[in-house]
């Protein structure tokens, strides 16, 4: 039987910083409704001045969704909780609908949080959801291709768009326990029929966990997730140490690795660090394939080479191992608006944010006009890296020397850590922070968790 006493909400939320309030994602289902009521209970006791906003995303995918959102609004009004309904009005894709709906949900929640000046989003994911996620990934063999990273499951916190924290405080709670709490509170919930539609992967997995052997499978999955989360965090911490020790940035868009990295002693962490740096240099949202990265690392150990992986040129010569964006596949000249992510590598901030600017790759011809003879890095590599950087079309087409580039561009191009720019699980904070420091990306906002739960 669930302990519904006043200390339950304290156990769930006492490790979270609510200084800037929270947005609770509430669909009307049992998990998110319990999250909302428990959170309200906790804030009333410990931080009555903290802002709490409930947000319901109406995906518009089935009849009744609008009425369910209104039911959440009614519950919130009865409890004195602010509430907003966020409609997903965009055209729905014919394939990949669950993933698209999830992406839209986080985008809408983040937008609502920013509008309210709140940097914390809370979701009602439970240990049931965690077990389903881990087992689905294992069955799809996703983790096997990536040495088990996916088997860590959902992180306690995830940074969205490098600015908004999504926190999952109920990952240690079972769904049936939350429903016991709601019954005790005499509060009902909505049963989403899509949760039982076995045309989708998650409902199929949910059905298997409800079977005779389901309890043991769930316990095994949760134990595996905890084990892999610890392993992933430790691997990331060691990769971060290697980045800080062996990586430098002699020029924008050019990373140098000290060849001593190849003999540092922890090949697993070194390969992981290399994968993150390759994805960052190439502006790729996903880490390069584990097996191909290991093969590249072995070739680097064998001696000098020039190769390409994840849109990144890897050039090993006497001066070091250099990573830079390859010229193939760079964006064409196009009007670029403020806050655009260009080529997956640079966030564009226009000096005049009200308009747009024609931006193109700087190009090899323009890069030759730059004075880059400094230090021990070969000038040809520095120019090759700068050629792949964004520039105003006017600067690209201007003849003659360009000594003031990029100061006269009309925009700023801030580096982003590509594989973590959209979603950064708290498992991966150490390597993300190390790479951000290396390339000059914006610092990470403070993690709103403390103690063991932050891991």
C-alpha distances out from residue 223 to 186, 201, 229, Å: 33, 22, 10
For 224-254, how does the pLDDT look when each residue is reduced to its tens digit (9 = 90+)?
Answer: 999 999 999 999 999 999 999 999 999 999 9
**Number of domains within the chain:** 3
Mean pLDDT on 168-183: 96
For 26-43, how does the pLDDT look when each residue is reduced to its tens digit (9 = 90+)?
Answer: 999 999 999 999 999 999
- In the block, tokens 């993933």 appear at 99
Q: Is the pLDDT of residue 116 over 80?
A: yes
CA-CA distance, 19 to 105, in Å (whole number)? 24
CA-CA distance, 387 to 391, in Å (whole number)? 9
For 190-217, how does the pLDDT look when each residue is reduced to its tens digit (9 = 90+)?
Answer: 987 666 666 667 777 777 788 777 888 8
- Decide if 161 is inside a domain: yes
State the DSSP code for 150: G
Q: Is the pLDDT of residue 143 over 60?
A: no
CA-CA distance, 205 to 232, in Å (whole number)? 24
Pair 173, 94 in one domain: yes
157-160 and 423-425 beta bridge pairing:
antiparallel
Closest CA to 258 of 184, 325, 323, 354: 323
Residue 8 pLDDT: 87
For 416-433, how does the pLDDT look when each residue is reduced to its tens digit (9 = 90+)?
Answer: 999 999 999 999 999 999
- Decide if 316 is inside a domain: yes
Domain interval for residue 384:
334-415
| Size (the chain), residues | 455
Mean pLDDT on 394-401: 64
CA-CA distance, 15 to 6, in Å (whole number)? 16
Number of H-type helices and E-type strands within the chain: 15, 18
Which alpha helices (DSSP H) does 80-200 contain, by range? 97-115, 127-139, 142-145, 175-185
For 297-346, how does the pLDDT look when each residue is reduced to its tens digit (9 = 90+)?
Answer: 999 999 999 999 999 999 999 999 999 999 999 999 999 998 999 999 99
- Would you give the distance in Å from CA 361 to the centre of its chain? 26
- Decide if 179 is inside a domain: yes
- Would you give the distance in Å from CA 106 to the centre of its chain? 11
Q: How many Cα atoms within 13 Å fall on the side-chain side of residue 180?
A: 11
- Decide if 452 is inside a domain: no
Pair 193, 68 in one domain: yes
- Decide if 32 is inside a domain: yes
Closest CA to 237 of 227, 248, 229, 249: 229
Give the max Cα distance, the chain: 78
163: helix, strand or coil: coil
Q: Are 361 and 383 in contact (CB under 8 A)?
A: no
For 372-389, how does the pLDDT look when each residue is reduced to its tens digit (9 = 90+)?
Answer: 876 789 999 999 999 999
CA-CA distance, 14 to 16, in Å (whole number)? 6
Pair 91, 162 in one domain: yes
Q: Are 336 and 319 in contact (CB under 8 A)?
A: no
Q: What is the CA radius of gyration of the chain?
A: 24
- pLDDT over 90 for what percent of the chain? 72
Which CATH number covers residue 22?
Answer: 3.40.50.620
Q: Which residue has the higher pLDDT, 286 or 409?
A: 286
Pair 306, 401 in one domain: no
Pair 24, 96 in one domain: yes
Q: Is the pLDDT of residue 4 over 70?
A: no
C-alpha distances out from residue 322 to 255, 368, 381, 437, Å: 6, 19, 8, 18
Q: Which residues of 123-146 are buried (b: 16+ CB within 10 A; e: fewer)?
A: bbbbbbbbbbbbbbbbeeeebeeb
Which helix (H) or strand (E) is 334 found in, with range?
strand 334-337
CB atoms within 10 A of CB 80: 9
Which helix (H) or strand (E) is 227 found in, with range?
helix 214-246
Pair 186, 54 in one domain: yes
Q: Is the pLDDT of residue 17 over 80?
A: yes
> Mean pLDDT across the chain, nearest whole number?
90
Q: Is the pLDDT of residue 404 over 70?
A: no
CA-CA distance, 173 to 29, in Å (whole number)? 15
């Amino acid at each position: 039987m669930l302990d519904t006493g006043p200390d339950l909400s304290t156990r769930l939320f006492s490790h979270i910083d609510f200084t800037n309030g929270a947005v609770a994602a509430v669909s009307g289902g049992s998990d998110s409704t319990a999250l909302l009521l428990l959170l309200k209970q906790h804030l009333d006791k410990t931080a009555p001045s903290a802002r709490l906003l409930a947000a319901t995303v109406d995906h518009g995918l089935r009849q009744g969704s609008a009425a369910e959102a209104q039911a959440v609004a009614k519950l919130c009004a009865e409890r004195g909780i602010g509430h907003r309904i966020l409609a997903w009005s965009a055209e729905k894709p014919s394939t990949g609908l669950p993933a698209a709906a999830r992406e839209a949900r986080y985008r809408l929640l983040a937008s609502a949080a920013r509008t309210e000046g709140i940097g914390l989003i809370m979701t009602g994911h439970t240990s049931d959801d965690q077990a389903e996620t881990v087992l689905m990934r294992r069955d799809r063999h996703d983790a096997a291709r990536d040495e088990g990273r996916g088997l860590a499951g959902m992180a306690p916190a995830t940074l969205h768009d490098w600015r908004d924290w999504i926190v999952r405080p109920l990952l240690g709670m079972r769904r049936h326990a939350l429903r016991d709490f709601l019954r005790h509170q005499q509060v009902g919930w909505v049963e989403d029929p899509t949760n039982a539609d076995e045309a989708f992967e998650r409902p199929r997995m949910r059905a298997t966990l409800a079977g005779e052997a389901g309890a043991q499978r769930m316990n095994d999955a949760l134990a595996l997730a905890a084990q892999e989360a610890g392993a992933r965090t430790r691997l990331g911490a060691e990769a971060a140490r290697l980045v800080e020790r062996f990586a430098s940035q002699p020029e924008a868009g050019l990373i140098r690795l000290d060849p001593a990295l190849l003999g540092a002693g922890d090949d697993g962490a070194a390969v992981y660090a290399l994968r993150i740096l390759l994805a960052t240099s190439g502006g790729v949202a996903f880490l390069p394939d584990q097996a191909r990265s290991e093969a590249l690392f072995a070739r680097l150990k064998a001696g000098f080479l020039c190769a390409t992986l994840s849109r990144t040129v890897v050039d090993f010569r006497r001066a070091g191992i250099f990573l830079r964006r390859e010229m193939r596949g760079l964006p064409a000249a196009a009007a670029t608006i403020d806050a655009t992510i260009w080529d997956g590598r640079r966030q564009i901030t226009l000096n005049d944010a009200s308009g747009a600017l024609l931006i193109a790759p700087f190009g090899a011809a323009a890069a030759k006009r730059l004075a880059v003879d400094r230090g021990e890095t070969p000038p040809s590599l520095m120019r090759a890296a700068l050629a792949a950087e964004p520039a105003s079309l006017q600067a690209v087409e201007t003849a003659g020397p360009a000594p003031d580039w990029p100061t006269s561009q009309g925009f700023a191009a801030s580096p982003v850590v590509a594989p973590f720019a959209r979603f950064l699980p708290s498992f991966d904070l150490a390597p993300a922070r190390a790479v951000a420091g290396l390339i000059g990306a914006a610092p990470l906002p403070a993690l709103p968790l403390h103690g063991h739960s932050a891991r």
